[in-house]
Amino acid sequence: MGAFNLNFLLCTSLLVASTFGELSASIQDSLDVKGQVIPLVLLAEAPVSVGTSFGSILKTDAPKATTVLDLSELKTAVSLTEALEFAPGVDIRSRGPWGIQSDISIRGGSFEQTALLVNGVRWSAPHTGHHLMNVPIDPEDLGHVEIVRSGSGAMAGAGAFAGSVHLQTPTGDVSNGGTAAVEIGSFGWKRFRLHADMKASNSIQRFSLSRAETDGHVNNSDAQITRAMWVSDWKKGAEQWKLMLALEDKAFGAQNFYTSTYPDQYETTQAAIAQLNWEKTGLNWRASVAAHGRYHRDRFELYREGTGWYQSTEDGFYVRNPLGSMAEADTAGLYAPGTSWYTGANQHRSLTAAVNGKFQWFLDQSAWTFSADVREEIIHSNRLGSAVEGAPEMYPRADQRTNVDALVSWRGHSESGRLVASVTSGVNVNSRFGMNYLPSADIRYRLGVDQGVVIFASAGRSVRHPSFTDLYYNVGGAQGSEDLLSEWADQAEAGGRWAPQQGRFVLEATGFIRRGRNLIDWIKYDQSVPAVDVYQAANLSSVDFYGGDVAATYRWDASLLRSARISYAWVEADRIAQDFTSSYVLDFLNTKLDLVTDWSLPLDVNAGVRYSMQQRNQPFERVSGNATFHLLSLSLERAWGEQNQIRTAIRMNNALDEQYLDIGQVVQPGRHYRFSLIFDLKSED
């Protein structure tokens, strides 16, 4: 405890002395224009980050600790999680590079406790939160990314337990044209991407298609990823519409992904998204409606099947002869000679269908918000759910549930605008887990003659329901429980923000406490009896998390160093694992220090330096890798031609060649490179 507080104070002093500030809300293409001042811009509407506000507000007015990633942090990444790796207070736990599979944790929360919203609509993965980040969107197709480091159950719904990530596709004007990109890199990395923008009288069409593959950095880590997306924006008077159709297909070797007992795993996933948003603004009101559908299919092989791997025998075993010798690996004899408990791949398909609406009524110094989200979550599987008579042979089991999130919120401000406060009464009703009341409140006050200092505080309750995997999975040493209760937490946060110099410099510091109850974990009791030597889904009675973070960014006019952000976050829990091993709840990031800089070098070269120091609280003994590790990413980019129509880029990840593990025994790649060639195809008109 003392060491953490000392580090926190030292880092705070460093931040103040270095005069960097958190101005990551500067989001526009002109970031690449040398010498141009980039001011603060308004955030797109995001309920989880700005409370009940329908309209856009300045980042400096957010009543919660909020970070926004701009184009400079998105354009050199090939996956969203690669960009989030260096975000303040965010823990990206990867099972493979380049977005093959990653979990997102915020402030010590588990991977199931972070909500994902896209264009204001919450996406959910009821099968398992491991698939939440199977997002069929390339980072280059995003306008910006908001990260809220606090639970927002009333505003974002079930799942926004410890924090939330909000993705926004571009909403600004475009020119007819597009891009074509080709990449090659370490471990047989290859990527091809096409993107096109088309503008009509009152509509904008955006298309993108990408294909990536790698041979993998270790045995059984090869992967292929294909994404396709179409986004259509159009306006008609005061009405705005946005339609999104997106697809993603992944296939990857999953070496040690979920268990090291059976390391040779393999998985394929497919995701299909359809979403329609409508919004209309009146004289003193605003309304929006959205419809969302997400289909997800997963095939998981605990023993990878195929030539050179495991193959099914006539008597029902899966056998591998990797060396061409008499020494064979098979599924027989693991528990009893001559029998096999493994009958083949896990097959799952899930469907989420949601409709939500919101209405806000503006008065002179206040506003009322009414909102509701109704969603049906369905799974068909050969492992999860209850047996269904007459069901297809591939999916003999199924389950479904209905979830409703609703709120009424009041937001008011003083005549001077210095004081803004909101009170929200939210409720979550689930057809299986009953009703939870989710109140919340926040307040913001501006100090000083120039109102450059902002103090803010918020408090509220969040809830998360067990996934279908938590409830039913019972294969290979893991045992779910249908008796699980929903987990919930009361949390509070307070902080301050200083933004002098017209927003070029912003310094933010916050502290928080989250009191979790009935927290869902997969635990193994410290017993030597083989019959109970399994990981079981269980509710932990209570765990309190507390900590803080401080972040700062500064942007310079015409300067060698264009921008810099430095941040420090620390988290602790009031409980340790006693008589059991925790897989998720007590396996969290204790300390994280991030530094992100962008440079304008001679010869019109743009450079980026990303650094992250991470120290993890792991409740089990590490087999390999460093408990504290340092990640360094370097990138260079230059435009060529009279109209800068050709760009070349190189990015090196893990430049220090660290040996580290994000989760379990999944070895992360050492130093690796990626080279890109991008052609900008612009229309002549």
The tokens describing 211, both together, are: 């294909």
Give the closest residue to 377 by CA, choosing from 347, 354, 395, 361: 354
- At 38, the pLDDT band (50, 70, 90 cuts) reads very low
Same structural domain, 313 and 433 = no
Mean pLDDT taken over the chain:
85
Q: What is the pLDDT of residue 131?
A: 94
pLDDT score, position 49 = 38
The pLDDT value given to residue 516: 95
User: According to the model, what pLDDT value does residue 9 have?
Assistant: 38
Query: DSSP E strands: which ranges in 363-448?
Result: 366-381, 386-387, 397-413, 419-430, 434-447
Residue 342 pLDDT more than 70? Answer: yes
Are 83 and 132 members of one domain? yes
Residue 190 burial (10 A CB sphere; 0-12, 13-18, 19+): middle
Residue at a domain's end among 340, 364, 386: 340
Residue-wise pLDDT tens digits, 585-601: 988 999 999 999 999 99
444/430 same-domain check: yes
Asked whether the beta carbons of 162 and 134 are under 8 A apart, the reply is no
Find the length of the chain: 685
What is the structure's pLDDT at 195? 96
Of 183-197, 303-317, 325-339, the poorest mean pLDDT is in 325-339
Residue 41 has pLDDT above 50, yes or no: no
458 and 331 assigned to the same domain: no
pLDDT (tens digit per residue) in 166-177: 999 987 777 889
Q: What is the pLDDT of residues 512-524, one digit of tens each?
A: 999 999 999 998 8
Is pLDDT above 80 for 415? yes
Specify whether the CB–CB gap between 387 and 399 falls below 8 A.
no
Domain boundary among 315, 340, 365: 340
Q: Tell me if residue 482 falls in helix, strand or coil.
A: coil
Structure confidence at residue 399 (pLDDT): 97
- Same-domain pairing of 483 and 414: yes
User: For the segment 425-443, what is each residue's pLDDT rounded down to a tens digit?
Assistant: 999 999 999 999 999 999 9
- pLDDT for 59 equals 72
pLDDT band, very low/low/confident/very high, at 4 (cuts 50, 70, 90): very low
What is residue 377's predicted lDDT score, i.e. its pLDDT?
98
Higher pLDDT, 356 or 341: 356
- Are 199 and 316 contained in the same domain? no
Same domain, 297 and 309: no
The string of pLDDT tens digits covering residues 540-580 is: 889 999 999 999 988 887 789 999 999 999 999 998 767 78
Q: What percent of the chain has pLDDT over 90?
A: 62
The confidence score (pLDDT) of residue 303 equals: 92
By DSSP bridging, strand 672-682 and strand 646-653 are: antiparallel
**With b meaning 16 or more CB within 10 Å and e meaning fewer, what string describes 114-149?**
bbbbbbbbbbbbbbbbbbbbbbbbbbbbbbbbbbbb
Confidence of residue 17 (pLDDT cuts 50, 70, 90): very low
Tokens for 268? 């394929």
- DSSP β-bridge partners for residue 20: none
- Under 8 Å between Cβ of 360 and 369: yes
One-character DSSP codes across 302-329:
SS-BSTTSBEE-TTS-EEE-TTSSS--E
> Residue 246: which of 135, 355, 145 has the closest Cα?
135
Check pLDDT > 80 for residue 327.
no
The distance of Cα 513 from the centroid of its chain, to the nearest Å, equals 21
**pLDDT above 70: residue 683:** no
According to DSSP H, which parts of 603-645 are helical?
none
Find the range with the poorest average confidence among 230-239, 319-328, 475-484, 664-673.
Answer: 319-328
Q: Pick the closest to residue 611 from 554, 666, 567, 641 (CA basis).
A: 567
DSSP helix/strand/coil, 421: strand
Sheet hosting strand 329-330, strand order edge to edge: 311-312, 318-320, 329-330
Structure token pair of residue 683: 């229309």
Cα–Cα distance, 303 to 322 (Å, whole number) = 13
What is the DSSP secondary structure assignment for residue 657, as one 8-state letter? Answer: -
pTM over the 0.85 mark? yes
Q: What is the 3-state secondary structure (H, E, C) of 143-170?
A: CEEEEECCCCHHHHCCCCCCEEEEEECC
Q: Do 363 and 321 lie in a common domain?
A: no
Q: Does 323 share its domain with 200?
A: no
Structurally, how many domains does the chain consist of?
A: 2
402 with 332, same domain: the answer is no
For residues 487 and 511, state if they share a domain.
Answer: yes
Residue of higher predicted confidence among 333 and 124: 124
pLDDT tens for each residue of 281-310: 999 999 999 999 999 999 999 999 998 899
Which pLDDT score, from 0 to 100, does residue 348 have? 97
CA-nearest of 115, 135, 111 to 589 is 111
Same domain, 459 and 590: yes
Backbone angles phi, psi at 355, to 5 degrees: -130, 130
Provide the CATH number for the domain around residue 621.
Answer: 2.40.170.20
How many other β-carbons are positioned within 10 Å of the β-carbon of residue 186? 18
Least confident interval from 202-216, 304-318, 325-339, 410-424: 325-339
Assign 488 a pLDDT band (cuts: 50, 70, 90): very high
Domain that holds residue 125: 2-302+345-682
Q: Please give the Cα distance from 595 to 567 (Å, whole number).
A: 7
Q: With pLDDT > 70 as the criterion, what percentage of the chain qualifies? A: 86
Q: Which position has the higher pLDDT, 119 or 529?
A: 119
Domain boundary among 294, 319, 340: 340
